[in-house]
Amino acid sequence: MTSILGVRLTKEMERAVEEVVKEESVDKSTALRILVHIGYREWRLKRALEKLREGRISLWKASEMAGMTLWDFIDLVKKEGIEWAEFELDEAIERLR
């Protein structure tokens, strides 16, 4: 199911859409869907990291929210310097078994 939305774009955003149109050889609608999809994935990842950092969600839940495998998410969390309770890792490993 799809929806039709009217969106006002800044000149910068319009140039970004045109860049995707040229680079990917797609129409403007497809270029916008690509950019929205990428932006949504990045937003979900940012929110998952924020909530984990604040202790509002578990490591496992944050990886699901980010749309990443647990192991890839753990690597990212380490790179970001975010600490989490070690018992969560044990719990996550048990879920994978």
Residue 1 inside a domain? The answer is no
| Domain coverage including residue 18 | 11-96
Q: Is residue 80 helix, strand or coil?
A: helix
Place of tokens 């929210």: 65
Number of structural domains in the chain: 1
Q: What is the pLDDT of residues 66-81, one digit of tens each?
A: 999 999 999 999 899 8
Residue 17's H or E segment, with its range, is helix 11-24
Residue 2 inside a domain? The answer is no
Residue 5 inside a domain? The answer is no
Q: Which two tokens stand for residue 53?
A: 């950092």
Residue 92's H or E segment, with its range, is helix 86-96
Q: Which two tokens stand for residue 28?
A: 């403007």
Q: What is the pLDDT of residues 17-73, one digit of tens each?
A: 999 999 999 999 999 999 999 999 999 999 999 999 988 988 889 999 999 999 999
Name the DSSP class of 10: -
